[in-house]
Amino acid sequence: MTSEALLLEAKALNPGQIPCELIQSEAMNYYNQAQVHIQAKQYEIANSLLIQSIQIFQNSIECFNGFLN
């Protein structure tokens, strides 16, 4: 599930709350998957997952910044 989809789902479940932690958790899942692929020497897959993880972490930072402002 994408960070945007998680955000929309969480907003529907908890109106008025910003679920930045869900977005951050999704990024960690991608990062952990990348680590598994690195250990298996599947570097192309790992690279793709790391790029996605970084992008999602950036989304979580933007979410937290939006929440704090």
CA-nearest of 65, 60, 68 to 23 is: 60
48 is a domain residue? yes
31 is a domain residue? yes
- Provide the token pair at 51: 């790029």
58 is a domain residue? yes
pLDDT at residue 10 tops 70:
no
Structural domain boundaries, residue 55: 18-68
9 is a domain residue? no
Region label for 41, one of left (φ > 0), alpha (ψ between -120 and 50) or beta (otherwise): left
pLDDT at residue 69 tops 70:
no
Whether pTM exceeds 0.75: no
In the prediction, which pLDDT does 4 show? 66
3 is a domain residue? no
Per-residue pLDDT tens over the stretch 12-68: 766 665 678 888 888 999 999 999 999 999 999 999 999 999 999 998 888 877 766
In the prediction, which pLDDT does 41 show? 98
Number of structural domains in the chain:
1
29 is a domain residue? yes
Question: Which residue carries 């897959």 as its tokens?
Answer: 45
In the prediction, which pLDDT does 44 show? 98
